[in-house]
Amino acid sequence: MSSNGYGISGHKNAFSSTVKVGNYVEDQFGAQLAKGSVEWPQLGRSEVQDHFSDPRLKPPPEDKRGVHHETEAYVAQSGLSYSLLFPHGPSGKEGDSKDWCTTNQLLHGSNRIPTRKVFENGSEIGPHSIDTRSKHEKSIALQKKLAREKRMETAYVSSAHASSALVRKK
């Protein structure tokens, strides 16, 4: 082994027609392996090709659908009524579409509908929900409670702060 070159064989990147390109020792090992190897036939089939079953060769599936399927097909074809798709009001008291209106109809419609009439017509909500006095009283009580808590936070002083206030500075 020579120490002047690179790799196991000490190859020195000197090329000519009589010298093999690259590392001579590794080339010799590669040539011996190539001569001694047995060539096997290559079968180029994937697993998909091995497990493929032609759909044209399969028998047609049996139709096991019953009356339920026919009902579903009819509903899918004909559709549902608007009042069933978009019910308004409590369950069991939905009412017809003429009993309810959209917010746009309510506010901007050609014939304005009073809000109280909408809530009174077949609903358990009733006109008392429109009354804002109870909401107003609740919001005032909440504001008072928050102000009281804020006063309590600022009214109490820590013991360190209180003791430092009592110490007389000279």
Q: Which residue has the higher pLDDT, 101 or 152?
A: 152
Tens-place pLDDT, residues 102-136? 677 666 667 666 666 555 555 444 444 445 566 67
The Cα 158–Cα 124 span in angstroms is 53
What is the number of structural domains in the chain? Answer: 2
The mean predicted confidence, pLDDT, of the chain is 69
User: Model's pTM, two decimal places?
Assistant: 0.18
Tens-place pLDDT, residues 6-37? 666 666 666 555 655 566 677 778 788 888 88
Residue 73 lies in a domain: no
Structural domain span for residue 137: 133-160
Q: Which two tokens stand for residue 12?
A: 């020195």
Residue 8 lies in a domain: yes
Residue 3 lies in a domain: yes
Tens-place pLDDT, residues 87-97? 666 666 666 55
Residue 145 lies in a domain: yes
pLDDT bucket at 84, cuts 50 / 70 / 90:
low
Residue 78 lies in a domain: no
Alpha helices in the chain (DSSP H): 24-36, 47-50, 67-78, 82-85, 103-108, 115-120, 133-155, 159-166
Residue 140 has pLDDT above 80, yes or no: yes
